[in-house]
């Protein structure tokens, strides 16, 4: 099958955060929006087909999770990641961000420490601070253009009494795909210090050729205090549907976080998200393969363009995700001036690096998941704004 990722689909007027939220976020609608981490591509045909079919039935009542949904997820994890997931390990939930909050509440009491590794997706911070837990930062280190984990410092953080590590794997925004030796070291530290680990693997399927995502749980024992968060939302561009799941082999850990969700009376059951979830994992493989080939070409073009045509900007080559981390520190602008440059001169709406915490100053996050001609035009405007030839 062939899929047209070059097709431009208007999202204006759909209450899209990325498009219809531009004025509120940037102060103007006159920017190309390459910020919010969803894609400007049509979802897989199998997904749109089941949604249309379900919408055709005129009753949208309370809906259970069918066995076929679990089977689709289990099959995907086995085929794509070599992970044999058992049915009883799966806990359905209303999104990865609510899962971060639930894990913090389940495994750390108020005042106790939760480790995050900035610069990182900003809900990692709010999940800790909004619940009166202590934020413990283990900043990533940028060495020779590639981010690394400071394991000596991570061990110090764990030894200080922290209860939980929120791991982003693959990492948003820096694009690292953690290697088996790095993941094994995380497990060693967690075991030694009785640290619970929530591994947010929502970008696990979005890995470029030459890289391989290792599910942390495949290196662990079933008794380890490990939570794996997965969802079809980023992979198949259905984040607005919300449904995700936690996969937890340890029954005590599973019960603890399940109790938090139960206490909040939060249901992830939705007749549309359920059918989309299943169809994506069951029939979306060919679409995903075509998507990653397209994104790889876009990524490589952007890396080359930044290197050849943009002044004071270096692109950190992502190993996974459709997000690109731009090092703009050599432009020698304050963070306010940097954001203003991209908004008002280049007319490009990106996430400022500062929202990702420590290590984000002087950086910007660019979303690559748009038709390539849109990305090309945006980069040319940056070059023109710098007074260079595009």
Q: What is the CATH number of the domain that holds 369?
A: 3.90.1150.10
Q: Distance between alpha carbon 315 and the CA centroid of its chain, in Å?
A: 19
DSSP-assigned letters across all residues of 6-54:
T-----TTTT-HHHHTHHHHHS-S-SEE--SSS-SSPPPHHHHHHHHHH
Query: Per the domain annotation, does 224 fall within a domain?
Result: yes
d(CA 290, CA 308): 27
How confident is the model at residue 388, as a pLDDT? 60
- Asked whether residue 50 is domain-assigned, the answer is no
Q: What is the model's pLDDT at position 390?
A: 44
Same domain for 67 and 21:
no
When pLDDT is averaged across residues 145-159 and rounded to a whole number, the result is 98
Partners of residue 165 on adjacent β-strands: 115, 197
Per residue in 349-389, pLDDT (tens digit) is 999 999 999 999 999 999 999 999 999 999 999 999 998 64
Is 60 exceeded by the pLDDT of residue 109?
yes
pLDDT, tens only, 121-149: 999 999 999 999 999 999 999 999 999 99
Residues 277-301: what's their mean pLDDT?
98
Q: How many CB atoms lie within 10 A of CB 244?
A: 26
Count of the separate structural domains present in the chain: 2
**Of 155, 146, 148, which Cα lies nearest the Cα of 136?**
155
Token pair of 214, please? 């290792």
Q: How far apart are CA 353 and CA 350, in angstroms?
A: 9
How far apart CA 28 and CA 21 sit, in angstroms, is: 9
Q: What is the CATH number of the domain that holds 119?
A: 3.40.640.10
Whether residue 125 sits in one domain with residue 259: yes
Number of H helices, E strands in the chain: 14, 15
pLDDT cut 70: percent of the chain above it: 99
Kindly compute the dihedral angle of the four CA atoms of residues 325, 330, 335, 341, in this order, to the nearest 10 degrees: -90
d(CA 370, CA 299): 11
Examine the domain organization and report whether 168 and 240 are in the same domain. Answer: yes
**Residues 258, 276: Cα–Cα separation, whole Å:** 23
Residue 348 sits in which domain range? Answer: 17-44+285-385
Domain endpoint, select from 249, 283, 317: 283
Question: For a pLDDT cut of 90, what percent of the chain falls above it?
Answer: 97
Q: What is the overall mean pLDDT for the chain? A: 97
Res. 286 pLDDT band, cuts 50 70 90: very high
Same domain membership, residue 121 and residue 63: yes
The pTM assigned to this predicted structure is 0.97
What is the average per-residue pLDDT within 171-199? 98
**pLDDT for the residue 389:** 44
């Amino acid at each position: 099958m062939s899929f047209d990722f070059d097709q431009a689909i208007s999202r204006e007027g759909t209450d899209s955060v990325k498009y219809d939220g531009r004025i509120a976020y940037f102060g103007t609608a006159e920017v190309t929006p390459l910020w919010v981490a969803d894609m400007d591509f049509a979802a897989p045909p199998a997904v749109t087909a089941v949604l249309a079919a379900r919408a055709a039935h005129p009753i949208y009542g309370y809906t259970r999770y069918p066995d076929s949904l679990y089977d689709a997820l289990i099959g995907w994890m086995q085929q794509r990641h070599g992970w044999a997931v058992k049915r009883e390990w799966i806990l359905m939930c209303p999104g990865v961000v609510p899962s971060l909050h639930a894990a913090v509440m389940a495994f750390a009491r108020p005042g106790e420490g939760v480790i995050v590794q900035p610069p990182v997706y900003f809900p990692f911070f709010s999940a800790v601070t909004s619940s009166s837990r202590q934020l413990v930062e283990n900043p990533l280190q940028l060495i020779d253009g590639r981010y690394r984990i400071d394991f000596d410092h991570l061990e110090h953080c764990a030894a200080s009494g922290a209860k939980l590590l929120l791991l982003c794997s693959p990492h948003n925004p820096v694009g690292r795909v953690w290697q088996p030796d790095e993941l094994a070291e995380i497990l060693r530290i967690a075991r030694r210090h009785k640290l619970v680990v929530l591994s947010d693997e929502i970008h696990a399927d979005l890995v470029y050729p030459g890289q391989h995502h290792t599910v942390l749980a495949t290196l662990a024992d079933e008794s380890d205090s490990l939570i794996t968060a997965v969802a079809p939302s980023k992979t198949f561009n259905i984040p607005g549907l919300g449904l995700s799941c936690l996969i937890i082999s340890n029954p005590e850990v599973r019960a603890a976080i399940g109790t938090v969700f139960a206490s909040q009376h939060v249901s992830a059951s939705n007749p549309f998200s359920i059918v989309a979830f299943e169809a994506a994992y069951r029939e979306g493989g060919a679409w995903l393969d075509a998507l990653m080939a397209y994104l790889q070409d876009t990524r490589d073009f952007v890396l080359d363009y930044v290197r050849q045509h943009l002044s004071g900007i270096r692109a950190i080559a992502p190993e996974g995700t459709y997000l690109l981390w731009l090092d703009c520190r050599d432009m020698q602008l304050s963070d306010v001036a940097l954001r203003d440059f991209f908004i008002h001169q280049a007319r490009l709406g990106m996430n400022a690096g500062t929202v990702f915490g420590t290590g984000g100053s002087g950086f910007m996050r660019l979303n690559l998941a748009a038709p390539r001609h849109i990305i090309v035009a945006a980069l040319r405007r940056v070059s023109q704004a710098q007074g260079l030839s595009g």
